[in-house]
Structure 1
Amino acid sequence: MSWIKTINYESANASLKKIYDRVKGPNNKVDNVLKIHSLRPHSLVGHMALYKNVLHNFNNTLPKWYLEALGTFVSHLNQCDYCFDHHYEGFKRILNDDPKAEGFRNAVMNGSTKDFFTDQYFAGCQYAEKLTLHHSTIEKKDIENLKQVGFTEGEILEINQVTSYFNYVNRTVVGLGVDTTGDILGLSPNNSDDPNSWNHS
């Protein structure tokens, strides 16, 4: 499951279990990406606060399916199979169109996202790719390009934060050898109206 010790729900002490109760899914399942923090529960609290507010907050104005698509795309760029598998399933569930979801997956795997997205959303992917693989080459004109295709500055911030979050979590997972053994793929904290609601369903 990982290259360092993790503590499962049943073995957790009272303080860790209290946090697990906020993030668990069905049958007290805690995703391995979250369980990896169990030796330092305070970092799990920080991770979840960032994750929930970046990806699952009602104040975001970009469609949730697009934010999930960006996360899936960035995970592919970072060769993080764990996050790719999880967030592709989340994307697929939100999209509720299996053939279209499979078309997205194929486009990502084949490097042909331009054929899947509108020009505007493809521009967001290009920015995410540059920020992930060549971050030191980002210039003001990259932001201006996003404005020109119709993104507001708040939406540009959303794209930046989703991309940055996935670069963080991809490196957490890959760097500690986390795999999907025992996970239920595609669960997420779906109550976007309450930033303190972390339960996965």
Structure 2
Amino acid sequence: MTWIKTVAYEDATGRLKMLYDRIKGPDNNVDNIMMSHSLRPHSMDGHMTLYKYVLHHTGNTVPKWFLEAIGGLVSHLNGCAYCFDHHLTGMARLLKDEAKSAAIRSAITSGDFASVFDSREVAALTYARKLTVDPAAMIEQDVLPLRAVGWEDGEILEINQVTAYFAYANRTVLGLGVSTQGDIIGLSPNNSDNPDDWSHT
């Protein structure tokens, strides 16, 4: 599951067991990306807090499915199949539209955003793509097209934070050899109304 030692759910005790119980899905399943933190439960706590607040918080106004699509793009650009598969599957569960989900997946991998996304979404994905592949080249003018198509500054912050979060998550996965073996693909902490509810459904 990873290149480093991890603690299985049934072997966890103390704070680690408490965290596992907060984030587990069906049949006590814990995603491997979270299990990769098991030797340092405090970093799992930090990761889950960031993940929940950036992607699954009631204070967000950007649609959750689109935040997941941005995560899929960033993961594709970073070569992280784990996050790409998890989050585009999660996106598809939210959309409940197999044809649209497949078209989005194709547009993300081809880079042809306009084939399926509207102008607001294309602007956001273009921003996320540049921030991912050439972050040092970002300039203030990269924000202007987002405003021009109607994104408010708080929403631009959401787009920025999701892009930045996935850079972190992708490097966690790629740097530790996290695989999807044993994972239930596409689960997420879907209770956005309660920021403290981390359970995966």
TM bucket normalised to smaller: over 0.9
**Cα displacement string for residues 87-143 of structure 1 (whole angstroms, at most 9, x for unaligned residues):** 011000001000110011111122212211111110000000010000011111111
Q: Could you say what secondary structure the match of 1:34 adopts? A: helix
Determine if the alignment matches structure 1 residue 166 to structure 2 residue 140.
no
| Aligned residue in 2 for 1:111 | 111
User: Paired residues, what number?
Assistant: 201
After TM superposition, the structure 1 stretch with the greater mean CA deviation from structure 2, 105-114 or 121-130, is 105-114
Matched letter for residue 159 of structure 2: I
| One-letter amino acid of the structure 2 residue matched with residue 37 of structure 1 | H
- Counterpart CA distance in 2 for 1:121 and 1:177 is 32
Counterpart Cα distance in 2 of 1:72 and 1:110: 12
Q: Find the aligned partners of 1:109 and 1:126 in 2 and give their Cα distance.
A: 13
Tell me, what secondary structure is at the counterpart of 2:2?
A: coil
Q: Determine if the alignment matches structure 1 residue 148 to structure 2 residue 148.
A: yes
Cα displacement (A) at 1:14: 2.2
- CA distance in 1 between counterparts of 2:165 and 2:86 reads 15
Q: Counterpart of 1:125 in 2: which secondary structure?
A: helix
Amino acid in structure 2 at the alignment position of 1:12? A
2:143 aligns to what SS in structure 1?
helix
The answer on 1:178 being equivalent to 2:189 is no
TM-score (norm 1): 0.99
Distance in 2 between residues matched to 1:15 and 1:118, nearest whole Å: 45
Question: Could you tell me how far apart the structure 2 residues matched to 1:117 and 1:137 are?
Answer: 25
Is 110-119 or 126-135 further displaced after alignment? 110-119
Could you list the structure 1 runs, at least 4 aligned residues long, displaced by more than 3 angstroms after superposition. none
Q: Is 1:26–2:26 an aligned residue pair?
A: yes
Amino acid at match of 2:101: A
Counterparts of 1:2 and 1:52, CA distance in 2: 23
Q: 2 CA distance for matches of 1:14 and 1:42?
A: 12
Which residues in structure 2 correspond to 1:38-117 (within 5 Å)?
38-117=38-117
Residue 129 of structure 1 aligns to a residue whose secondary structure is helix
Residues in 2 aligned to 1:15 and 1:171: alpha-carbon distance in whole angstroms: 25
Unaligned 5+ residue runs, structure 2?
none
- Give the drift of 1:166: 0.3
Whole-Å separation in 2 of the counterparts to 1:53 and 1:200: 14
**Alpha-carbon distance between aligned partners in 2 of 1:90 and 1:193, rounded to the nearest angstrom:** 18
The percent identity for this pair of structures is 56
Q: Distance in 1 between matches of 2:56 and 2:107?
A: 25
Instruction: Tell me how far 1:79 sits from its aligned partner.
Output: 0.4
The alignment status of 1:9 with 2:19, answered yes or no, reads no
Question: How many angstroms apart in 2 are the aligned matches of 1:145 and 1:111?
Answer: 18
Note the C-alpha offset of 1:13.
1.4
